[in-house]
Chain A
Amino acid sequence: METFFFVFVATFALGTALAMVLSKNTVNSALFLILHMLSVSGFYLSLNAQFLAVIQILVYAGAIMVLFLFVIMVLNMDEDEQIVTKVDFKQIFAVLVTVIVLAQLLYIVGNFTGALPDFSQQELMAIGTVEAIGDEMFTTFLLPFEATAILLTAAVVGAMLLAQKNVNVEDEIE
């Protein structure tokens, strides 16, 4: 059952990832990326990390990708704006970065010898719950957690300031 689930989700994830990269239409790409994120949450589920699975959908598929889609739809990129016209420095650089990242990934996977830490099914279930994650977050990882909170607050205030500034400029023009 678990193998079947894994094969299904893995095929789905690979298929949507390929479709996302290969599809010509930007909106279609974004939609395939959403499907891909749903399949990633399927992986989390099969590892009994229910909290992560739901948060993956809630944050990435439900909030961030909506904004991406929003922007893409408003910009309304047409097919004749394809960038594959001439090979420039940017593309060579992109290929280089891709090859490096792929090499790193292969290096990590190739060096991997031992299996995952040996947990029983019950232990795995206990680790993935909200209570366990909250417990860890507010004891062991309290400082990184609070630092992230401050960082996010700063980002929100910055975004507000940028938006506010534009409003003032418009007022002056009027």
Chain B
Amino acid sequence: MEAPIISSYIILGAALFVLLNSAAVCVYAERRIAAFIQNRVGPNRVGPFGLLQPIADVVKLIFKEDVTPSYGNRILHSVAPLIPVTTALMTVAVIPFGDGLFITDLNIGILYLLAIASLGVYGVTMAGWASNSKYSLLGGLRAAAQMLSYELPMGMAIASMVLFSMSLSLVDMVNAQIYWWGIFVNPIGFIIFTIAAFAEANRSPFDLVEAEQELVGGFHTEYSSMKFGMFFLAEYMHVVIGSMLITVFFLGGYHLPFAGYYAHLLPEAGTLAKAILDISVFGAKVAFMVFVFIWVRWTIPRFKYNQLMSLGWARLLPLSIANFVIIAFILMMIHEFF
């Protein structure tokens, strides 16, 4: 691990800025796409095409009354919304956005990601407990169980990609996909990882954490004003982070498809042009995956809780382990005989 240099601070600032604002863009995109899917118009009054709607939403949230439940735990109630936001922002430290455009290249980057993701559970659990409400507590416990269950297949799917890159660094992971993206060599891993990413972000069809019919609002029933806004922000940041991770692990990061075969045929690009191209490719893939997140939410109905658990433990986990073992076997055979 080298000492941080100036450029990594610049990238850190830019990445945090983009990530925080991407949540607002996602909210707008979600509402417009939802309206399109349901044959409505969606928000179109505030600014041109309703583009200023997220700003109006935030202003409304800030001016709302901040209610704390009287018999709840006041301190934990205030701390809880900070945790999912913090963990989402910390993830950005190891994601490579372009050739050389990363904040730090940890040689344990993937373990770091898993560790940070596993800490996100506490925000939801604490919020549920500190609210002193049975709906919140049930929502928090559901969230904890769900996130713990889906961490395992997610970890196994990532491990199956580590077999290709032979490294726990995300930069090496992206560079290993210069010829063939992860989705082409490991399609089952891609499907498992995507499903687990949906569950980790608590997004529909796995949004049992806040199932309205059963739990009112789940863990954030007792939250209002900007504390609720923080949970809202965290949810959309987790969508963006999930899309970034899918891009890094399975969609080749900042590489064009099969770039290794024809990269030398293209004219030599300058550093700036290359950086812009890399970030555009990465951004386009992330935007597409965010669209998929929204698309699924408004297309697929919510699972039942027992279905969610049996999918996680009885289907995805054995499948991901089998996938890992088979890929390891095939790679060893190729290594042995070719």
Question: Residues of A with Cβ closer than 8 Å to B?
Answer: 25, 27, 31, 34, 50-51, 54-55, 57-58, 61-63, 66-67, 69-70, 73-74, 125, 129-130
Q: Which of A34, A58, A63, A125 has the most CB of B within 10 A?
A: A58
A residues less than 8 Å from B107 (CB atoms): 50, 129-130
A residues less than 8 Å from B125 (CB atoms): 66, 69-70, 73
Tell me the total A-B contact number using a CB cutoff of 8 A.
64
Is residue B108 contacting chain A, with contact meaning CB distance below 8 A?
yes
Shortest distance from the beta carbon of B1 to any chain A beta carbon, whole Å: 8
List the 6 closest pairs (A to B, CB-CB), nearest first.
A62-B118, A57-B115, A58-B115, A54-B111, A73-B129, A54-B115
A50 engages B122 (CB within 8 Å): no
CB interface residues, B 244-278, toward A, < 8 Å: none
CB interface residues, B 92-129, toward A, < 8 Å: 106-108, 111-112, 114-115, 118-119, 121-122, 125-126, 128-129
B115 engages A73 (CB within 8 Å): no
Is residue B158 contacting chain A, with contact meaning CB distance below 8 A?
no
Closest residue of chain B to A34 (Cβ to Cβ) is B122
B residues less than 8 Å from A51 (CB atoms): 108, 111
A residues less than 8 Å from B240 (CB atoms): none
B108 engages A73 (CB within 8 Å): no
Closest residue of chain B to A45 (Cβ to Cβ) is B1
B residues less than 8 Å from A74 (CB atoms): 141
Q: 18 A-B contacts, Cβ less than 8 Å apart?
A: A27-B73, A31-B122, A31-B126, A51-B108, A58-B115, A61-B119, A62-B118, A66-B144, A67-B148, A70-B125, A73-B125, A73-B128, A73-B129, A73-B141, A125-B1, A129-B107, A129-B108, A130-B111
Given contacts A31-B126, A63-B148, A73-B137, A54 and B121 within 8 Å (CB-CB): no
A62 engages B115 (CB within 8 Å): yes
Q: Bound state CA distance, A70 and B121, in angstroms?
A: 11
Is residue B168 contacting chain A, with contact meaning CB distance below 8 A?
yes
Closest residue of chain B to A56 (Cβ to Cβ) is B115
CB interface residues, B 225-258, toward A, < 8 Å: none
B111 engages A70 (CB within 8 Å): no
B122 engages A66 (CB within 8 Å): yes
B residues less than 8 Å from A130 (CB atoms): 107-108, 111, 168
Given contacts A50-B107, A51-B108, A73-B125, A57 and B141 within 8 Å (CB-CB): no
Question: Residues of B with Cβ closer than 8 Å to A?
Answer: 1, 73, 76, 106-108, 111-112, 114-115, 118-119, 121-122, 125-126, 128-129, 137, 140-141, 144-145, 148, 168
Q: A62-B119, A73-B125 are in contact. List 20 more A-B contacts (CB 8 A).
A: A25-B73, A27-B73, A27-B76, A27-B129, A34-B122, A50-B1, A57-B115, A58-B115, A58-B118, A61-B115, A62-B114, A62-B118, A66-B122, A66-B144, A69-B144, A70-B125, A73-B129, A73-B137, A73-B140, A74-B141
A50 engages B108 (CB within 8 Å): yes
Given contacts A27-B129, A63-B148, A73-B141, A55 and B121 within 8 Å (CB-CB): no
Cβ contact of A55, chosen from B73, B111, B119, B137, cutoff 8 A: B111
A66 engages B129 (CB within 8 Å): no
A residues less than 8 Å from B118 (CB atoms): 57-58, 61-63, 66
Closest residue of chain B to A69 (Cβ to Cβ) is B125
A62 engages B121 (CB within 8 Å): yes
Cβ contact of A54, chosen from B112, B126, B137, B144, cutoff 8 A: B112
Given contacts A27-B129, A73-B137, A58 and B121 within 8 Å (CB-CB): no
A residues less than 8 Å from B122 (CB atoms): 31, 34, 66, 69
Shortest distance from the beta carbon of A127 to any chain B beta carbon, whole Å: 13
Q: Bound state CA distance, A31 and B77, in angstroms?
A: 13
Q: Bound state CA distance, A70 and B118, in angstroms?
A: 14
Shortest distance from the beta carbon of B21 to any chain A beta carbon, whole Å: 29
A residues less than 8 Å from B141 (CB atoms): 70, 73-74
Shortest distance from the beta carbon of B48 to any chain A beta carbon, whole Å: 44
Shortest distance from the beta carbon of A138 to any chain B beta carbon, whole Å: 14
